[in-house]
Structure 1
């Protein structure tokens, strides 16, 4: 029951942010199963609930072991009552009323003025009645709130399914973690035990449910929090911001710094903030994440605006990421050695980096290699090498290469 009250109080703090328009959009008047990133979600329990337009809300909590279910509500009020009346109005208009008092009733004052909360345990039969009813009224003295139960059957059933996963034991948990890794791991996550999936190849319809089930299994590793955030982001789901924020700022998961920095750098799901993005990338570099190292190096060079120190450091970071084997860094470093972005051009050294990137399937690197052999880059013209790498780029889907082959 303490866990339930903690959930209720945390939600009240968020509701004040919703009033100010600074939190995520809230859907009122219909029950929902709460997933990671949702306003009413809390790790370690499975919940379904509804919020009214006056920010009263009801929430049903199922513990991870499947032993207890509780119902709680936050309603307007300033004084606690010794007992409350719980009334379910059934679809045929009949009413079922229960008085809860004494040790059966838990009272709490949430962190919001003019609101009080009451909660109590439910039997399995009570839960079935809630799912079958039309609405639920909780009355405490002169204060009351009536909550529609639309969507409660689907929402509570979803919470029960998640509860079953968490109660199934370590083998089931390991299976869902493996499924999440297989569908959403980053190919260059140094903490991941699997090869990973490129962004373009990731299917959010597969990755999201797999990672949600891994989450439901309990004891969430930071890697799974990051991978769920990545799956959300691929689906265009704004909950990615919260998941990636937790993975980076709370878990200090190395590659999550780059993912969160990307959201701030592009203004995705949040206000664009280049300074915040840079600070996050600095933390990623400190954590030895090659992806963050590449991103910060590129940022410093592209946005250095003539600042020699930034540009020199950017070149060092970009080279570090390239030598660590990160293909985009190898490709960009190679391209910039050719076009003079990195001071004097060095096509011979550029070739070695581009070859490494192209060998991993980087189609843009293969195209850059092909262009090295046209004859105006500093290397001798080589039609065979040009055609070889042009075909490799086309095979990887590079549109410029595909168009060039059509012309040839």
Structure 2
């Protein structure tokens, strides 16, 4: 019952302000299985529940070991009652009523005025009845709330499937962690043991399913929290903001700082805040994350307030380029050529752009082609120009495709 109490006490204040939560959309009147990032999600148990428009809510909690299931509700009220009446109204109109009292009943006062919570354990038979019923009414003296049970069968079954994963032991957990890594790891995550998947190659549905199952297995690694956030973001799921916030601010997972900074910098799922993005990139860079260092370098060059910041940005970009990060190689090479970094070395630009192009960076291949037109410090080379223009076009670069069509 401990998890139920924690959920009721911690979540009610969030529910009261749910409409203001960044990126959160509250769906009323229908049961849902709670996943990471959802309003009523609680790590370590598996839950399904429903929220009413007055922010009363009912929730069914399955423990990770599969031993206990409990039902509870937070309803309007000021005084506790010694007993409650639980009534299930079936689809044929018949009712099943029971009274819960004494040690069977848990009562808590959530951190919100005018609300009380009651909870109690259910048998397997009771769970089946809940899933089959039309609605559930909880009455405590004059206090009463009726919760529709639409969607409860699908939601509770999903919680049961997650419960099976968490009860599967270390081998099942390791299997799902490996599957999540394979589907959602960042190719340049210094903490990851796998090669990773480029953003454009990620399948959002596959990655999300794998990482949700890794989450359900329990003892969640910071890496898995970040990868689930990345999978959510790939699918345009606003829950990415909460997952990446936890991975960065709570877990201090290095590359998560860059991911969260990107959301703040673009105003994705939240209000655009460049100061917050800058702060996050500084933290990620301090932890040794190459991608954060690259992003911070770009920010300092593009938005720097003076020569010292621009010089620091150049150094950070160069570090990332020399470490083999293709976007840094491409940008550094391009900016050497176009003068953004001041007087540039065309041979150094050529070297970085070649390395990025060989990794499949179509934009780098196109920039490399431009070096061979002339006026770049390198001798014109029509064959090299055409070679890299075709490589860029093969990678889908629109400017290269247009140039080839004109040629």
Measured at CA, do residues 22 and 392 of structure 1 come closer, stay the same or move farther in structure 2, by a change above 3 Å? Answer: closer
> What aligned pairs does 1:260-271 form with structure 2 within 5 A after superposition?
260-271=260-271
What corresponds to 2:157 in structure 1? 157
The separation in 2 between residues aligned to 1:147 and 1:38, in whole angstroms, is: 19
Number of residues paired by the alignment?
Answer: 407
Q: Is the 8 A contact 2:22 2:269 kept in 1?
A: no
What is the DSSP-based 3-state SS (H/G/I as helix, E as strand, rest coil) of the residue aligned with 2:17? Answer: helix
The separation in 2 between residues aligned to 1:150 and 1:130, in whole angstroms, is: 10
The separation in 2 between residues aligned to 1:98 and 1:113, in whole angstroms, is: 28
Q: Does 1:349 align with 2:311?
A: no
> What aligned pairs does 1:85-104 form with structure 2 within 5 A after superposition?
85-104=85-104
Which shifted more, 80-89 or 172-181?
172-181
Deviation at 1:270, TM superposition (A): 0.4
Q: Does 1:200 align with 2:200?
A: yes
Measured at CA, do residues 80 and 275 of structure 1 come closer, stay the same or move farther in structure 2, by a change above 3 Å? Answer: same
What corresponds to 1:125 in structure 2? 125
Question: Once the two structures are superposed, what CA deviation does each residue of 1:325-344 show, in whole Å capped at 9, x if it has no partner?
Answer: 11100110011111111011
What corresponds to 1:68 in structure 2? 68
Deviation at 1:20, TM superposition (A): 5.3
What corresponds to 1:328 in structure 2? 327
What corresponds to 2:32 in structure 1? 32
Which shifted more, 61-70 or 175-184?
175-184
Where does the alignment leave 5 or more consecutive residues of structure 1 unmatched?
none
What is the DSSP-based 3-state SS (H/G/I as helix, E as strand, rest coil) of the residue aligned with 1:257? Answer: helix
The separation in 2 between residues aligned to 1:366 and 1:55, in whole angstroms, is: 55
The separation in 2 between residues aligned to 1:193 and 1:345, in whole angstroms, is: 36
Q: Is the 8 A contact 1:17 1:23 kept in 2?
A: no
Q: Does 1:393 align with 2:395?
A: no
Deviation at 1:19, TM superposition (A): 5.7
Deviation at 1:285, TM superposition (A): 0.3
Question: Once the two structures are superposed, what CA deviation does each residue of 1:145-171 show, in whole Å capped at 9, x if it has no partner?
Answer: 111101100100000011011111111
The separation in 2 between residues aligned to 1:327 and 1:3, in whole angstroms, is: 46
Q: Is the 8 A contact 2:22 2:270 kept in 1?
A: no
Q: Is the 8 A contact 2:261 2:276 kept in 1?
A: yes
Where does the alignment leave 5 or more consecutive residues of structure 2 unmatched?
none
Q: Is the 8 A contact 1:184 1:196 kept in 2?
A: yes
Measured at CA, do residues 246 and 392 of structure 1 come closer, stay the same or move farther in structure 2, by a change above 3 Å? Answer: same
What is the DSSP-based 3-state SS (H/G/I as helix, E as strand, rest coil) of the residue aligned with 2:299? Answer: helix
Deviation at 1:3, TM superposition (A): 1.1
Measured at CA, do residues 209 and 23 of structure 1 come closer, stay the same or move farther in structure 2, by a change above 3 Å? Answer: closer
Alpha-carbon RMSD across the aligned residues, in angstroms, is 1.2
What is the DSSP-based 3-state SS (H/G/I as helix, E as strand, rest coil) of the residue aligned with 1:55? Answer: coil
The separation in 2 between residues aligned to 1:406 and 1:21, in whole angstroms, is: 49
> What aligned pairs does 1:231-270 form with structure 2 within 5 A after superposition?
231-270=231-270
The separation in 2 between residues aligned to 1:22 and 1:97, in whole angstroms, is: 40
Question: Once the two structures are superposed, what CA deviation does each residue of 1:33-59 show, in whole Å capped at 9, x if it has no partner?
Answer: 000000000100000000111111000
Measured at CA, do residues 263 and 301 of structure 1 come closer, stay the same or move farther in structure 2, by a change above 3 Å? Answer: same
Deviation at 1:21, TM superposition (A): 6.2
The separation in 2 between residues aligned to 1:85 and 1:92, in whole angstroms, is: 20
Deviation at 1:16, TM superposition (A): 2.4
Q: Is the 8 A contact 1:14 1:23 kept in 2?
A: no
Q: Is the 8 A contact 1:64 1:166 kept in 2?
A: yes
The separation in 1 between residues aligned to 2:177 and 2:304, in whole angstroms, is: 41
The separation in 2 between residues aligned to 1:107 and 1:388, in whole angstroms, is: 74
> What aligned pairs does 1:82-231 form with structure 2 within 5 A after superposition?
82-231=82-231
The separation in 2 between residues aligned to 1:23 and 1:364, in whole angstroms, is: 32
Deviation at 1:304, TM superposition (A): 1.6
What corresponds to 2:302 in structure 1? 302
Deviation at 1:370, TM superposition (A): 1.1
4+ long deviations beyond 4 Å:
19-23
Q: Is the 8 A contact 2:187 2:196 kept in 1?
A: yes
Measured at CA, do residues 96 and 207 of structure 1 come closer, stay the same or move farther in structure 2, by a change above 3 Å? Answer: same
